[in-house]
């Protein structure tokens, strides 16, 4: 286990002794998270990814840990400052395949569980991903980029021997040539491969100028048929896939010769295939794309030949994902968000369903997240997060009556050492009516540690991004740190948030930002009415879509003492022509191109209300953010400066969207919030 001495020394330097019982920004280096728990086929063991941060290198790492399903015999499988992920049990439970970069670039490794021997299975130039065992355990399928030569126009001259020239120009003929978190999009396409599970030569099964797996530039899903003769994958092989960015189809790929059979053909995403144990049916997710801002992702069934398609999740008015068949083929497990809580539901083949696990989460934030896996007996392992529990592994045993909700058991406690000496802010659920139309709005309040209801506290309204996303009753390190600094923190799910049904999600279709102002402003009023918030000490912040709404709020009210917009969109026209998701913006968020609908773009632009802003505002964005490019923040900053509004622009090197690549940069988000708001915070005895 990694040493904590370096962290302890840093904490003593950055936090005064009186504040040691509260969470501090330096604790970002101390918190650990359990992710991607995979239960063994017999339901006896769980392997999971344990994520941690190193204060000396300022980087995030991950190792594999193993624990019995009853919580005993908890131990590391791998150690070191490496990145390891995607552990997957072999069908017989005797081996684990996983990805590791311990020998340089990420490769597939296999570990034999009886003796602990480990063997690299691939030695590829481009990293593999989405590894999936064959039913007989003899092969592993995966996705990897097959590069192509970069575009060059003309015949460049060559430097003379020994000369040192500048890097050459970069040519592109692609719509998307930069992608957030990826950077410069590599030339080439993602294809499907198989490799012997004991190592050997990987064999490419797909070809052509198309991305396979369903996701742009890597990732997605792969499903073997039980007889091992075919692989079912989503692929982006339709017309103009960069423009039709949500479109994908399912294909069956012959393992023998790579021959393709197309299984779906409607316009819209078809993803996440799962083949029934008897090989007759394929479950998958998707929807008919109506070019809405938000649509529920549905669970479908079809025959293996592609016939007989039908929607199975008709009784669930929320998006579902990650389908997994029961061992007897009588139902399909899915993951879904429901009123800010992520759950696992078991859907019967008649469409009825019951919840079998809840409180899934990734741990780092109140956003939806988490994952699960299922053993042959129906036992479920999942990553659990609650407002006071960052992230741990939980198990639900299968032996319960069909009418009952199974009881879960959390089998790890990986932050017990830190939380034993830190007091977290308590979290309270709140519902309140919007001042626009009395629409019920759901939210949560974090109170400062050692909260005294007789006092008057400053309040931070923290707004989620997306905008089609949801906050929930999950641990959030950044909000807890705001509460530790003495603030009451309110975070809500205004109209347009997911997990409240498709109608609620689409209330902002072609109208965002807009009436969300009333939902958020009414939330502030609802907390003030509780009597412990100083109405003259209000602050607002949020990131991405939350940065958009931060600017929208201060464009409509001057009640906030200060604002901090993280990586916002300010000008929808420039965003739609520069962001990596420009096609989704034009196709789904707006009625068409900016030049055809200038009024719609203009009235939703944050520049349309900047003339009203009086609130001191700080804008903070990563310099490698290609989702909401730096140019958006610069426009807003300069508009504020030219109007004479007190403002600061913060540019964070190396960071993509979210500012979490380096732990110190994430910590700087919190210290910047604290420092900026402290400048304007009214001190109340």
Mean pLDDT of 601-609: 96
Q: Which domains, and CATH codes, for the chain?
A: 427-570+605-680 (3.40.50.1820)
Residues 396, 380: contact at Cβ < 8 Å? yes
Indicate if the pLDDT at residue 7 is higher than 80. Answer: no
Stated as kind and residue range, the H or E segment containing 66 is strand 59-68
pLDDT reported for residue 84? 98
Instruction: Give the three-state DSSP class for 548.
Output: helix
Mean pLDDT of 321-339: 97
Across the chain, mean pLDDT equals 94
The region that residue 214 occupies, defined by phi over 0 for left and psi between -120 and 50 for alpha, beta otherwise, is left
pLDDT tens figures, 24-36: 999 999 999 999 9
Q: Considering the chain, what percentage of its residues have pLDDT values greater than 70?
A: 95
Indicate if the pLDDT at residue 684 is higher than 90. Answer: no
Indicate if the pLDDT at residue 622 is higher than 50. Answer: yes
Residues 391, 419: contact at Cβ < 8 Å? no
pLDDT reported for residue 399? 54
pLDDT reported for residue 262? 97
Indicate if the pLDDT at residue 620 is higher than 70. Answer: yes
- Residue 123 to residues 101, 126, 188, 604, Cα–Cα distance (Å): 11, 9, 19, 50
pLDDT tens figures, 247-291: 999 999 999 999 999 999 999 999 999 999 999 999 999 999 999
- pLDDT band at residue 92, thresholds of 50, 70 and 90? very high
Give which of 323, 292, 640 is closest to 467, Cα–Cα: 292
pLDDT tens figures, 497-535: 999 999 999 999 999 999 999 999 999 999 999 999 999
Q: Considering the chain, what percentage of its residues have pLDDT values greater than 90?
A: 91
- pLDDT band at residue 215, thresholds of 50, 70 and 90? confident
Indicate if the pLDDT at residue 18 is higher than 80. Answer: no
User: Count of residues for the chain?
Assistant: 685
């Amino acid at each position: 286990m990694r040493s904590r001495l370096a962290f302890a020394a840093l904490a003593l330097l950055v936090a005064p002794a009186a504040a040691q019982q509260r969470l501090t920004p330096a604790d970002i280096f101390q918190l650990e998270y359990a992710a991607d728990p995979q239960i063994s086929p017999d339901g006896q063991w769980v392997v999971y990814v344990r994520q941690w941060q190193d204060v000396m290198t300022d980087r995030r790492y991950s190792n594999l840990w193993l624990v019995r399903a009853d919580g005993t015999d908890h131990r590391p499988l791998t150690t070191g400052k490496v990145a390891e992920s995607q552990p997957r049990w072999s069908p017989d439970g005797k081996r684990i395949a996983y990805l590791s970069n311990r020998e340089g670039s990420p490769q597939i490794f296999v570990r034999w569980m009886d003796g602990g021997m480990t063997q690299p299975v691939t030695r590829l130039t481009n990293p593999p991903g989405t590894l999936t065992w064959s039913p007989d355990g003899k092969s592993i399928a995966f996705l990897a980029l097959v590069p192509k030569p970069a575009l060059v126009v003309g015949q460049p001259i060559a430097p003379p021997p020994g000369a040192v020239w500048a890097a050459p120009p970069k040519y592109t003929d692609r719509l998307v040539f930069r992608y957030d978190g990826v950077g410069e999009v590599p030339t080439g396409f993602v294809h499907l491969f198989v490799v012997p599970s004991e190592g050997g030569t990987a064999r490419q099964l797909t070809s052509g100028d198309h991305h396979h797996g369903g996701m742009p530039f890597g990732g997605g899903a792969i499903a073997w048929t039980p007889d091992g003769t075919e692989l079912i994958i989503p692929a982006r092989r339709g017309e103009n896939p960069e423009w039709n960015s949500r479109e994908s189809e399912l294909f069956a790929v012959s393992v023998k010769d790579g021959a393709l059979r197309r299984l779906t053909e409607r316009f819209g995403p078809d993803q996440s295939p799962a083949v029934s144990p008897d090989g007759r049916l394929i479950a998958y997710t998707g929807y008919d794309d109506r070019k809405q801002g938000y649509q529920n992702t549905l669970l479908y069934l079809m025959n293996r030949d592609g016939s007989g398609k039908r929607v199975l999740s008709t009784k669930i008015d929320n998006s579902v994902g990650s389908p997994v068949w029961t061992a007897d083929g009588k139902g399909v497990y899915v993951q879904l968000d429901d009123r800010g809580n992520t759950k696992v539901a078991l859907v019967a083949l008649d469409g009825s369903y019951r919840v079998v696990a809840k409180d899934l989460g990734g741990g780092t934030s109140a956003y939806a997240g988490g994952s699960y896996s299922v053993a042959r007996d129906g036992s479920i392992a999942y990553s659990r997060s609650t407002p006071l529990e960052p992230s741990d592994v939980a198990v639900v045993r299968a032996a319960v009556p069909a009418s009952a909700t199974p009881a879960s058991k959390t089998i790890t406690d990986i932050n017990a050492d830190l939380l034993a000496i830190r007091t977290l802010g308590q979290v309270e659920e709140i519902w309140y009516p919007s001042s626009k139309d009395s629409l019920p709005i759901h939210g949560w309040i974090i109170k400062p540690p050692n909260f005294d209801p007789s006092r008057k506290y400053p309040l931070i309204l923290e707004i989620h991004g997306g905008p089609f996303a949801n906050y929930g009753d999950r641990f959030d390190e950044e909000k807890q740190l705001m509460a530790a600094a003495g603030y009451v923190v309110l975070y809500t799910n205004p109209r347009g948030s997911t997990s409240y049904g498709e109608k609620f999600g689409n209330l902002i279709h072609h109208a965002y930002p807009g009436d969300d102002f009333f939902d958020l402003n009414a939330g502030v009023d609802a907390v003030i009415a509780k009597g412990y918030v100083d109405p003259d000490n209000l602050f607002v912040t949020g990131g991405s879509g939350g940065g958009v709404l931060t600017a929208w709020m201060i464009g409509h009210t001057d009640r906030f003492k200060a604002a901090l917009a993280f990586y916002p969109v300010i000008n929808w026209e420039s965003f739609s022509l520069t962001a990596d998701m420009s096609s989704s913006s034009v196709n789904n968020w707006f009625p068409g191109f900016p030049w055809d609908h200038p009024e719609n773009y203009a009235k939703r632009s944050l520049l349309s209300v900047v003339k009203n802003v009086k609130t001191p505002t700080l804008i903070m964005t990563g310099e490698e953010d290609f989702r909401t490019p730096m140019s958006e923040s610069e426009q807003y900053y300069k508009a504020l400066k030219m109007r004479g509004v007190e403002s600061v622009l913060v540019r964070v090197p190396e960071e993509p969207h979210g500012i979490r690549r380096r732990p110190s940069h994430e910590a700087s988000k919190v210290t910047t919030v604290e420092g900026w708001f402290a400048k304007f915070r009214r001190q109340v005895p």
